[in-house]
Structure 1
């Protein structure tokens, strides 16, 4: 039985651990926190997962919260005008519903399941020196802890990392008491609100420790009015500022937020990081090799909501590569090929995400505007969140965008 060590108990690490466990591998999972510490700790992300990523969980039989979490059936886009009215407002319908489960709920539950199924769970914060000691005892060591010292083992791939500084200041608040969006009270949707030159607000329904909630997620252009959460320690002050900015920039979202309260004292989060693609193979001081997973090797800005989706897809791709390898060694050539397999999916996410961080060119504005009049355009844009590869066909290139819009309207391409 092949022995595999996984460092990090997030979406990718736990999904991969449970998947390998189900295939008969002897898996050790190392986490710096217990399940109880995760469950009672601070929120970690916004984690809206679309159909393909959710299906990877279903395939492993670990979609424990699917019947409880709100079904997100659409994705809406609003663009604020200078007078704080809506210049654009539409919602596209998803072919398969999306869901968000607070990672405090999911990771704690998955960790307990892993242990109950006989997995070796080690609660220990790993440094490079620890890994050097442990790695020689395993056939393969995977690093899925996207923060901390271990990431330094994986060098930045400058050719795939156009930004060397954070492009957004991030702020999250989990709240109860948000009213439905009056335009579509009969179904749930993620709402993407764009404030040109200022930033974005995403509103998404989720399942948390205390039941259904909504997430208010600001992405602020650094140095702008939304870049105001650094240094705020008090969660109520964080929420008050969130609402103050809502009232100023997005009054239609503020109108349904007047009665909200935080889900819990740990329901806020703020930070920033530079989007980075890294080389997938880390070399230990002793010469041993480790393979980076998900955010360790491809960390995109959350503006396109792809973090958990990418982590799930990476875990699924790595699981297939490990199983296909059989008894052959997990050498450097195999590690690179395993990452390259994941990059076939991840490259589209990275390209699209980096494009969304920049001011939109005219043809993208035309697509977003056309979606307000043409439901097929709205639906296609919405479903791109599940399959970002489709954006290659109509989003990046002006000629392809014009040809696509012409095909929908039946008019000649201009």
Structure 2
């Protein structure tokens, strides 16, 4: 039986661990927290998983919360005008529903399931020196912990990383009590609110430890009026600041948020990081090699909501590669090939995300405007969150965008 160590207990690490466990691999997971500590801790992210990523969870039979989480049927885009009105406002319909589950709920549940099924769980923060030892005792070591010392083992890929500094200041609050959008009161939808030159607010229906909630997620241009959360430590102050900024820049969203309250004391998070692609193979002081997973090697800004989706797709790609490899050695050539397999999906996400971080070119502004009049355009944009590769066909190149809009108008 092949022995595999996965360092990190997030979406990719645990999905991969449970998938390997189901195939009778001897799997050890290293987590720096217990399931109870995760469940009772601070929120770790925002997330909205679309159909392709959700299907990987279904295939592994770990979609434990699918019947409970809100079924997101659409994705709306609103662009603020200088006078506080909406210059653009539309709702695209998803072909298949999306869902968001608080990672505290999901990761705690998955970690408990892994242990209950006989998996080896080690609760300990891993250092490079630890991996130097483990690389000699396991057939394969995968690093799925996207922060801290371990990431330094993976060199930045400059050709694939156009940004060397954070492009947004991030701040999220999980809340109960948000009212529906009055124009679509019966439709669960992600709302993407764009404030040109300032940043974005995403509103995402979600399931948390205390039931249905919504996440209010600001992405602020660094140094701008939204970049004010860095020094806020008090959750109540964080929420108050979130709402003040909504009232100032997005009054239509503030109007349905006047009665919100935090889901819990751990329901806020703020931070920033530079979008980075890294080389997939980490080399250890003793000469061994480890393979980076998900955002260890491809960390995109969350502006396109792809983090958990990419993690799920990475886990699925790596699972298939491991199963196909049989009893052969997991050498560096295999590690590189396995990452390359994932990159065929991830590269589309990176291209799209980096494009959305920049000021939109004229043809994209025109397309967003046209989507308000042409429902097929709105729907295609919304479904691009499920399949970002589709944007290559119509989004980036002005001529392709013009040809597509002309085909829709007939």
TM-score, normalising length: structure 2? 1.00
Shift of 1:255: 0.1
Number of matched pairs: 410
Aligned equivalent of 1:124: 124
Shift of 1:187: 1.3
Indicate whether 1:367 and 2:367 are aligned: yes
Q: How does 1:186-335 map to 2 (within 5 A)?
A: 186-335=186-335
Output the CA distance in 1 between the equivalents of 2:104 and 2:8. 14
Output the CA distance in 1 between the equivalents of 2:138 and 2:30. 13
In structure 2, list runs of 5 or more residues that go unmatched: none
Secondary structure of the structure 2 residue equivalent to 1:100? coil
In structure 1, list runs of 5 or more residues that go unmatched: none
Secondary structure of the structure 1 residue equivalent to 2:44? coil
Shift of 1:79: 0.2
Output the CA distance in 1 between the equivalents of 2:198 and 2:351. 22
Task: Map Cα deviations across residues 332-388 of structure 1 (whole Å, 9 max, x no partner).
Answer: 110000000000000000000000000000010111111000000000000000000
Q: How does 1:12-411 map to 2 (within 5 A)?
A: 12-410=12-410
Secondary structure of the structure 1 residue equivalent to 2:194? strand
Output the CA distance in 2 between the equivalents of 1:55 and 1:10. 17
Output the CA distance in 2 between the equivalents of 1:344 and 1:366. 29
TM-score, normalising length: structure 1? 0.99
- Structure 1 runs, 4 residues or longer, greater than 6 Å off: none
Secondary structure of the structure 1 residue equivalent to 2:93? strand
Task: Map Cα deviations across residues 151-189 of structure 1 (whole Å, 9 max, x no partner).
Answer: 000000000000000000000000000000111111100
Secondary structure of the structure 2 residue equivalent to 1:63? coil
Shift of 1:84: 1.1
Output the CA distance in 1 between the equivalents of 2:148 and 2:231. 20
Secondary structure of the structure 2 residue equivalent to 1:377? helix
